[in-house]
Each structure stands twice: as structure tokens, then as C-alpha cells.
Structure 1
Amino acid sequence: MDGIFVGGGGAGYGERQVLDLKYANRHGLIAGATGTGKTVTLQILAEGFSEAGVPVFLSDVKGDLSGLAKAGSEGFKLHEAFVGRAATIGFEDYHYRDTPAVFWDMFGAQGHPVRTTVAEMGPLLIARLLELTEAQEGVLNIAFRLSDEQGLPLLDLKDLQALLVWVGENAKELSLRYGNVSTASVGAIQRRLLVLETQGGTSLFGEPALELADLMRLAPDGRGQVNILAADTLMASPRLYATFLLWLLSELFEDLPEVGDPDKPKLVFFFDEAHLLFDGAPKALVDKVEQVARLIRSKGVGVYFISQNPDDIPEDILGQLGNRVQHALRAFTARDKKALRMAAETYRPNPDFDTETAIREVGVGEAVTSMLERKGIPGIVQRTLIRPPSSQLGPISAEDRAALMAASPLAGKYDTAVDRASAYEMLKQRAEAAARAAEEAENGAGGAEEAPDEMIREYNRARRYDPTPKAAPRTTGTRRGSSRYSKPESIGEALGQAVLKELSGTTGKRIVRGILGSIFKAR
């Protein structure tokens, strides 16, 4: 199979439109006003890629795309219309068929839980997620640097929250090495993390983390797995939705090897409601998206943006989207008219009709299309009747979804969260050891001079910043950013004598208990 049949012509329409698999990793755009057929176009493209043995990842914003997992039926009310459309456009091989679908859900209700770790997401995307200022982002970067140097893995939100408390406690010492660390900035980040936690962001961070290989599986019959992310609930937190999908794109970019120009993509990624990615995004983030879109093609990944209007996509990224399906745009305002004109200007003109007029007049299930042709040249724009889907149009029932999840090849792998020792537990252990050291030093017969050296070291670890960088985390044989960190080395004894005095009296106990209280409140 060399291409995906997108649609064809009838009276007054153009040639058959086929998306050439060789150029499918040159990215694409599906645009159009609400209710013009974007979701069905996404559905038939996902079917086509799966049939060609290409795995697909897409987000199901309205719940409609779950129908990909079930074959259409002759009892469907639009059956006759579908069969008629197939005959009109010359779709001779039209038949009903399901796709090998796997359901995912960040909250674990409608699919397998999908998680990543705080360390894997990194400070840039987390700063974007939390809408931090430049100064606050700087403090967050320091926290991530210290996580590496002090051997404190950041896996979930409570790890980051505990580490930020530790950063605030040691702000003076850290400022001398890394620049100003403001406790006000630390507090602002903590407030943002609390809001994220309230919105359900806790579900995103943790282990077992998603393995990219599980998104790129083939069914036993050779068809590509269609990964459907339930996003109807997730869309209530649009920033979380956009940041997660951008993280996934970045992970694919970082982890996949170069393959040049394959005969077909290794994975196709559909980014629905793409405008959410760019609304209010800082230039650094837009530049990152542009870099990923430009370079991920050579990793064999095609990215297709779905949005209401092409001008929702930054111009530099829009220029890289070679395969385009433009459904109707309505021009009711001056801005709408300008967007319509700009959309029409991006197509290679067809002498048989005016592109701007066609975009305004095509009906539901119709589109203006342009696919890359030989040598990657954009095809002449055509008016196209989009082919009907082979899978069910509309959502499946809750019972069907539950049955498919139970029979999934990934059933049980991600369903139970794992909370292994990380920054929160390590800092808690250090503080508890320091508390014991203070208690024993106060009650010891020999006084402070007889306090064991290890107690002093534990107190220092809990109370003071150790400026000696630790060994870099070991990454051999592990995923990027999720390696097990090397054990912290012992710190210097420079503060030892000063600490002895504190440990010898009640002041030491109060300080250490203050640490425990500030970091580890009852959760």
C-alpha cells in the first residue's frame, strides 16, 4: 500500500486525493470551522495509517474517536449515505472494519494511566505548565540542578515540593553559588504546584512512566496500533493537555534514532486543538516546537495539527505542514476574512476555481485539499469529497470500552502506581536522622563532644546545603531522565564544630524539628 485514499471527486470536484506514505512524515494540517468534518477526516487518516502498518497517537477531545475501535455497521442511520459517497468518489474497496485501538487516560478512568516523571518533563515544560515568571523559572532550574548534584530523584509532585522547601531553607547558601534564590519565588512556585495538584496534575507524574515503545506497537495482523488518549476531562486543564502532548513530542524527538526518509512513517502523531499549544506561549517554547517539527521528520514521525483556523499555528511551523485538508471557514468578521484570505494564499492555485471562494463554500464532509506529490512538491489544490470512515462514527459504549481495556496487550502494566524512594523520602530520612542525632546529643552522658561523626553529617545534610557536586546520575541502560541516581557522597566537616554546639542543647532539637515540620507536614 503506497498511499491513503483521502477522497475524490464527483461532478464539479477534482481528482482522487491520496496521501503518499513516502511523504506522510512531512507533517500536515487539518483545519476548519466547528462542525465541518475535521474529526471524521482525522478518523479516516488514522484508519489509513493503521491499515498501512503505521502506529498512530491521537487525542480524543470530544469522545467521538473511540469509535475507531469498533467496525461500522449497516444498521447505522448514515449507512446508505456512506455507501453512496463511496460509489461517487470511486472508493471501490469500501467496507466496515475496526482498528487495533489502545485507550489511554491520564486519570486512569477511560484507559491505561499515562505518566511521566518530573525529571523527564524537565524545567522548561514545567515552567510553561505553571506559567512561571523568568525569575521563578530560574529558581526551578536551580532545583533541578540540585536534584542531580545531591542525588535526589524527582519522580512525582511531592518530590518537587519537598526539594523546593529544602531550597528555601538553604536560600542564602545557594544564592552564593547559583545566583539569587528568593523565598518569595519559591513560595510562588509552591502555590502554582498546589493549583496543579488541585486540577489533577498529580496523576501525570509518577511511575511506572510511559515507555515510548508501547505507543509504536503493531497488531498481530501487521496493522499499526491506534493509541487514543481520552482528553474530554483533560481539556478542563488546557495548559496541562498541551504541555503533556508537547512533552510526548519532545520525548520522541530525543529518543528515536535518525532514519532519513523512510517508505512510511514509524509513528504519526495527531495534535488536536493545536491552538492551545501556542496561546500565550513564550518565544523559547515556540522555538522548541518549531525545532521539533522541523527535525522530527528525519526520525520517521509525522505530526498533524488540527485546529479551527490555519492562523492558529505560527507561520514558521505552518510552512512545514505539507499535507493539508482545509474544511470550510466562515468569514463573518474582518478577522475571519483576513484568515480566509491568508489560508487560500498558502495553496498552489488551481486554474479551475478560486481557492478562497472554495474554502468558504465547501459543505460538511467536503474540503479543499493539497497533498505532497513526487519529490515532495505540493499538489495543486483540489475540491474533494472526503471518504466515509470504515470504523464506527461516534463514541463506543462504556461496556465496549471496558471490554477492550481488559483485552488490551498492555493490561496491568501501567494500572498500579509505584512510589519508590526519591527526593521526598530521602529528605525525610535525612531529617529524621538529624532529629535522632540532636536527641542523642542532648541526652548523651558525654555531651556534644561525643556526638558521632555520622550524626553531624546527617544533620548537615538535612539542614545545610552541601556545595560539593555529586557524581552525575548513571544513565546506562535506563531511559533519559529517569535513571537511578548515585548515592550522595559524604560532605565536608567544615561546619561540624558549629553544629556541635547546636546539637548539644534544646536549640538543636527545635531547629531539626522545625525542618521536619516545614518539609513533611501531614499529607
Structure 2
Amino acid sequence: MSQKEKFTQHLAEGQTYKKDFIVLGTGILEGEPITGATIKVPLKTLNRHGLIAGATGTGKTKTLQVISEQLSLKGISSVLMDLKGDLSGLAQPGEANDFILKRSAQIGVDYEPMGLPVELMSISKEKGVNLKATVSEFGPVLISQILDLNSTQQGVIALVFRYCDTHHLPLLDLKDLKRVLQFITNEGKEAIQKEFGQVSAASVNTIMRKIIELEQQGAERFFGEQSFDVNDFVRRKDGKGIISIIRLTDIQSKPKLFSTFMLSVLSEIYETFPEQGDSDQPKLCLFIDEAHLVFSSASKDLLEKIETIIKLIRSKGVGVFFCTQTPTDVPESVLGQLGLKVQHSLRAFTAKDRKAISKTAENYPISPYYNTSEVLTSMGIGEALVTALNEKGIPTPLAHTLIRAPITRMDILSSSEIDQVVSESTLVPKYNQEIDRESAFEILNQKMDQIEKEQEKADLAGPGSRSRTTARTPQDQSLIEELSKNTLVRQIGRTIFRELTRGILGSFSRR
């Protein structure tokens, strides 16, 4: 048996599947693609998460594109966090040139260009479905993270959320949050102190300034209604899974907003999706580009919560894939949870680079056919070291892989093409409408206006009536309890007046 035949058999023995799979490419031995040495990833283990890593320009984004294409063709939806703006081409067919046809022949697959169903989304001014979430749904942990609060200030935010949850005060947007902060240090100071203890005015003032800074970054476009239902990520069109591309090109300089938004999506999915256990294919896959932004500024406590979600969310049928330059960008506690690993080439210009490459090589199975450290620095564009989990959860043999070419366009959409995709969306009419219903801001203002009017009447009535300085009755001090009786019937929506608890990241868990 020749070396090539042994190599092909070595890969095939580790990739014998009874269930469906996707094809990433073909194995490379001694610099030559081996037709028949197919690199397959079983759908059954894609909820075990993954990593796509490599230096700039090595083909990470195209690998992400290929995987999401193959998932769509299998009827599996995916969500792509697009910070560089180069994934919109998934909506249009690719171009069959000589290079691509030759590569496809080497891999042993037919090249059939096609566009796939795409939903363009945004949390800012980009065109597409406006993704929004209420402040209440975001939760105290993520609000504290995005505002970069210290432990004392985090305690104040936790108090605010607790008070609003128990007193039926809807926190929908940032003006609601600011109004409640004003309330706990002014009109409601005595009631708050009796129920929760004294609140530092200095801490509240600092939080207020940070909210204003966040508003200046455009966050007010994200916080509000109608809040996005994560079940709308899981849809099909003509039997193909819809690819939701969240366009984030205009928030590259706002990593806090991006990272916290991403975590809120994970938290919402975890709290919303039903338990699925181990099934034959995932329900949804999320691809997080520039993943280092998620972890670079996260606190130890938040990292622990992220690790917990990554461990547990797979039982919901969800796979999470991090796309970044080096595996060291991802904490070891998270890295250890990742089943699929696609490692593109790394650069070795400095001693630090060489040390990082040596450390990276240790993350992959030992192969009798490769010196992993050498391969890591010698791969060409569109080549990668690949190992996955087989159906039994065992890592497949490490393979230097020639990645198949995307069947969709390897370039962005034109402005007119983007307009066409947006115009055909069924979600744009659902979510792209301004809603500003009665919430904490209006409720507190109405109640205070009512109290002031009653006090003015009492002052005009003479000394025998209650004055402004007279102690308030229990009815006055329980502002929200009284008001909620009147607003209970009127308030509708996902975020208020329902039986609820808060989940791992402080977001709502619906029961």
C-alpha cells in the first residue's frame, strides 16, 4: 500500500459516519492534495462548538462562508457576526473560474454556484432588520459590563433591576433607566432606603454619565422595542436554512457594544430555546468574527458566565464558532469546549510568534504525517489544519486540508443588491417600526405630576390640609404598587407583567 493510500485510509477510519455530514475539503500530503481523502464534519457534533483561527489574509472568512453555506444546504440556519462587512455576498452565486474548478476537481466535489437565502440585520444604522432589546431583557450583568462599572456601581444597577422587576416598572430604553436612577436618589429616596438601604448619590451620578457616553455611541438605537425574538433566527426558505448576517461594520470602534450585544444574544438563546439534547443535527449555529473583542475586556466573573453558557447551550441544539487570529485569543476554559478546530496559517516573525505557534501546535492531535509546528507556518491561502469530533465524540485525525471554494460570491453586495435583499425581507416590516409605549419614564413622571397636583390642592385648602412637608401616606410611598393596578391591563409585550426569573447573565428566563 502506497503512502497516499495509507494516508487516505487513516483519514477514512476516523471519519466513518452513519449520519449526515458536511464536506470541508480534501487532505494534503507532502504538499499535494489527495483526491478521495475527504475531510468531513458530522452534523451531529456541530453543537460542540468550534474555532476558526489564522493570521490575516489566510482565508478564515472564506472558511466561515463555506461552513455556513453547507449548513444552509442541509436546512440549518446560522447567524454570522460580520464586523468586516465581507459576508453579504452569500446572497449571490459565486463565479466559476478555472482556479475554482481545478480546486473543486482536486477535492472531488462538483462546483455549482448559487445564492443562498440571507437576512441582513443591524444594531446600528446599517440597512436591514433592526435588532433591538429592552434594557430589562439585557439584564443587570450585561448593562454593568457595557457601562464598565465597578462592584459598587454594579450593586446599584442590580438594585434598580430588582426594584423595577418587583414593582412592575418596564425598563425599555435608556431614558427609562436614567429616570429610575433619578428616582432612587430623589423622590423615591426614602422608600428605596427603607427597602434596600442607602444608595450612594456619587455612584448614581457616575452611572448616569456613563449612560450618556453610551448614548453618544449610538446605543439608543439598540435599546428599545420591538425587541427581537431569537426564534426568528431559525427559519428556512425553499428547504435551505436562512443565513442571518448581522452587519457590524460601523461599530468596530465600539467593542463594548459589540461584545455585550453578542453575549445578550447567547443569553437570550440559552434562556429561550427548549432543551434538545443530542440530536442528529444542530438547530442553529452562530459564527462570531473578531472573537477577541468578546474576551479582551470581560471581567473574571463574566468569563465564568460565558464558559457556563458555552457548556450548556449545546443541549439547546446550538453551536458557537469563534473566528479569530490565534487560539490564545480565546480563554483556555472556553477553548477546551470547542470540538471543531480549523487552523489556518500563522506568521512567525518574532520569538514571541514562534512561542505562540509552538503552544498552538499542542492544541491539536499528534499526527504521524505532519510536524504540526512546521505546517502551521507553511500553509497557503485556503489551506488549514482541521480536526473535528466524530459521531462518538472522538477527535478525528489531524489533516492538512485544502478547503473547498465558496459557492456564493466571494465579494460584497452592491448597494442596489442590498436594497433588494432588504425589500424582500419578511422581518423588516415586523421589527423596523418605532415603538415608544408607556414605561418607567412615563409612569414615574405621571405619578409625580399627580402627587404634586394633590399637594398644590392641599396647600390651597389651608393649614388644616396636608402640606408638602407633611409625611407621605403609605399610598404615596408605594408609587408603583398603586399605579400598577391601573396599568396592568394596558401593558402588553414580552418584557413586563409576566412570571419571570433572571438567568445566567441576568436576562429574562421565560417559564
If the length of structure 1 is used for normalisation, what is the TM-score? 0.85
Match of 2:262 among 230, 242, 245: 245
Q: Are 1:384 and 2:384 an aligned pair? A: no
Q: Offset of 1:374 from its aligned partner? A: 3.5
Q: Which residue of 1 aligns with 2:67?
A: 45
Q: Offset of 1:444 from its aligned partner? A: 2.8
Q: Offset of 1:148 from its aligned partner? A: 1.7
Q: Which residue of 2 aligns with 1:515?
A: none
Q: Are 1:21 and 2:43 an aligned pair? A: yes
Give 3-state SS (helix, strand or coil) of 1:261's partner: coil
Higher strand content, 1 or 2: 2
Q: Which residue of 1 aligns with 2:172?
A: 155
Q: Would you say how many aligned residue pairs link Structure 1 and Structure 2?
A: 471
Letter in 2 for 1:266: K
1:31-78 Cα deviation digits (max 9, x unpaired): 00111111000000110110001010011111110000111134xxxx
Quote the RMSD (CA, aligned, Å): 2.6
CA–CA separation in structure 1 for the residues paired with 2:235 and 2:27: 35
1:322-343 Cα deviation digits (max 9, x unpaired): 1111001112233322221111
If the length of structure 2 is used for normalisation, what is the TM-score? 0.87
1:447-476 Cα deviation digits (max 9, x unpaired): 52599x9x96775456xx98x9x99x99xx
Q: Which residue of 1 aligns with 2:449?
A: 432
Q: Are 1:192 and 2:207 an aligned pair? A: no
Mind listing any 5+ residue stretches in structure 2 that lack a counterpart? 1-18, 500-511
Q: Which residue of 2 aligns with 1:64?
A: 86
Q: Which residue of 2 aligns with 1:215?
A: 233
CA–CA separation in structure 2 for the residues paired with 1:205 and 1:123: 14
1:508-523 maps to which residues of 2 (within 5 A)? Answer: none
CA–CA separation in structure 2 for the residues paired with 1:308 and 1:187: 39
CA–CA separation in structure 2 for the residues paired with 1:245 and 1:449: 52
Q: Which residue of 2 aligns with 1:320?
A: 337
1:252-304 Cα deviation digits (max 9, x unpaired): 11111111111110000111111111113111111111111111111100100
Q: Offset of 1:235 from its aligned partner? A: 1.8
Give 3-state SS (helix, strand or coil) of 2:113's partner: coil
Q: Offset of 1:116 from its aligned partner? A: 0.5
1:219-230 maps to which residues of 2 (within 5 A)? Answer: 219=237, 221-230=238-247
CA–CA separation in structure 2 for the residues paired with 1:190 and 1:259: 42
CA–CA separation in structure 1 for the residues paired with 2:277 and 2:493: 23
CA–CA separation in structure 1 for the residues paired with 2:351 and 2:152: 39
1:341-380 maps to which residues of 2 (within 5 A)? Answer: 341-380=358-397
Q: Which residue of 1 aligns with 2:305?
A: 288
CA–CA separation in structure 2 for the residues paired with 1:216 and 1:328: 33
Cα gap change, 1:485/1:152 in structure 2, threshold over 3 Å: closer, same or farther? farther
Mind listing any 5+ residue stretches in structure 1 that lack a counterpart? 487-523
CA–CA separation in structure 1 for the residues paired with 2:496 and 2:409: 42
Letter in 2 for 1:48: Q
1:408-419 maps to which residues of 2 (within 5 A)? Answer: 408-419=425-436
Match of 1:12 among 8, 28, 32: 32
Letter in 1 for 2:199: V
Letter in 2 for 1:184: A
1:465-496 Cα deviation digits (max 9, x unpaired): 98x9x99x99xxx987x13379xxxxxxxxxx
Letter in 2 for 1:41: T
Q: Offset of 1:23 from its aligned partner? A: 0.8
Give 3-state SS (helix, strand or coil) of 1:57's partner: strand
1:354-399 Cα deviation digits (max 9, x unpaired): 0111011101111111121230111111111111000001100010
Cα gap change, 1:448/1:373 in structure 2, threshold over 3 Å: closer, same or farther? same
Please tell me whether the aligned partners of residues 348 and 380 of structure 1 are also in contact (alpha carbons under 8 angstroms): yes
Q: Are 1:423 and 2:437 an aligned pair? A: no
Cα gap change, 1:484/1:417 in structure 2, threshold over 3 Å: closer, same or farther? farther
CA–CA separation in structure 2 for the residues paired with 1:440 and 1:456: 16
Please tell me whether the aligned partners of residues 89 and 385 of structure 1 are also in contact (alpha carbons under 8 angstroms): yes
Q: Offset of 1:173 from its aligned partner? A: 5.0
Q: Which residue of 2 aligns with 1:483?
A: 496
Please tell me whether the aligned partners of residues 172 and 181 of structure 1 are also in contact (alpha carbons under 8 angstroms): no
CA–CA separation in structure 2 for the residues paired with 1:314 and 1:130: 22
Match of 2:127 among 110, 120, 137: 110
Q: Which residue of 1 aligns with 2:274?
A: 257
Q: Which residue of 2 aligns with 1:509?
A: none
1:99-151 Cα deviation digits (max 9, x unpaired): 10001011243211000010111000110111000000001100111102222
CA–CA separation in structure 1 for the residues paired with 2:235 and 2:318: 14
Letter in 2 for 1:211: D
Give 3-state SS (helix, strand or coil) of 2:32's partner: coil
Q: Offset of 1:172 from its aligned partner? A: 5.6
Match of 2:219 among 177, 198, 201: 201
Give 3-state SS (helix, strand or coil) of 1:306's partner: strand
Q: Offset of 1:203 from its aligned partner? A: 1.0
Identity %: 40
Q: Which residue of 2 aligns with 1:442?
A: 459
CA–CA separation in structure 1 for the residues paired with 2:467 and 2:301: 55
Letter in 1 for 2:392: K
